[in-house]
Amino acid sequence: MGTAGTALYADDTACDVRDEFVHLLANLRDADRATQMIVANWRAQIDDVDDGPVFWLALAETQWKYGCLAQAVKARAVAIIDGEADLHRWTGTDLKRRRASLAALKVKLLSEQPTARIPKKPKAVAVPSTKVPSSDGRAVATAYALASSPNPNEPRTQVLVEMLSSGSRGGGGIFLASCEYTEIELDWIDSETLRVSYPADSLVHSKSESSFYFGRTIRIVYRARAA
C-alpha cells in the first residue's frame, strides 16, 4: 500500500477502492450488488490491520458521494473513526492531520447524502498496448502506454492484469515503469503465474507480487533484462 499524505485519497488502497466501486456501480447500476461484489473482491485486504480500515473509509465516502451509502458501510466507517483504528500508522503532526481529516469525513457521512446517481461509463479510448492472454483464457496481461512526458524518469508504461472469476471481470495495475510499453515482455509461465520482463535500466515506480480478484490470485514474477 502506498501513502503520500494524510488525506483519504492520498493512499493507493483508498483510490483503488473508490475507482473499483465507481466502475462496478456504473456497470451493474445497482448499489447493493456493487457493494456485495467489492466486499467479496477485497475480502483478504479487509482483514488486514492497515488496509481494512482504509477500505471501509473509502467505500463509505464514495457511496455517500453517489447517494447510496449503505447503513452497514456507514456504521463500519464511523466505528473505525471513533475507535481510531486507522490512526496507528501516524505520528506527530501527521497524526493530528489524519485525525482532523477523519473527523471531517465523519461529519460528511452523518450528513444528508446527495441525490442518488449512477456514474457514467467512461468512453473507450484506444491506447497503444500489447495484450497477452493466459493459457486458460481466463486472464489477460496488458502492457500499455501512458501519457507522454518530457521527463525521462516519469512513468511511461503500466502493466495491467484482468481476470475472469465467477462470471465477472476485473483486476488492476501491477507494474509501473519509465520504459516504453514495447520494451515490456509478458509471458504466462502457467495460468496462475505471469512473468514481466523489462529493461534493467528502467526506473520502476511500483511492482506488485500478485494480483487478486474475486477469489482468484495471479502470482507475478519479474526479470530485469540486460540491455
Residues 215, 185 share a domain:
yes
Q: What is the pLDDT of residue 115?
A: 96
Does 122 reside within a domain? no
Q: How many domains does the chain have?
A: 2
Over residues 94-129, the pLDDT tens digits come to: 999 999 999 999 999 999 999 999 998 877 667 789
Q: What is the pLDDT of residue 214?
A: 78
For the chain, where are the E strands, in sequence order?
129-133, 139-145, 157-165, 168-177, 185-190, 193-199, 204-207, 210-213, 216-225
Regions in the chain scoring below 50 on pLDDT? 1
* Distance between CA atoms of residues 54 and 9, nearest Å: 9
Last residue of some domain: 110, 141, 176? Answer: 110
| Domain hosting residue 66, numbered range | 12-110
* Distance between CA atoms of residues 150 and 131, nearest Å: 26
Does 124 reside within a domain? no
Residues 96, 149 share a domain:
no
pTM: 0.59
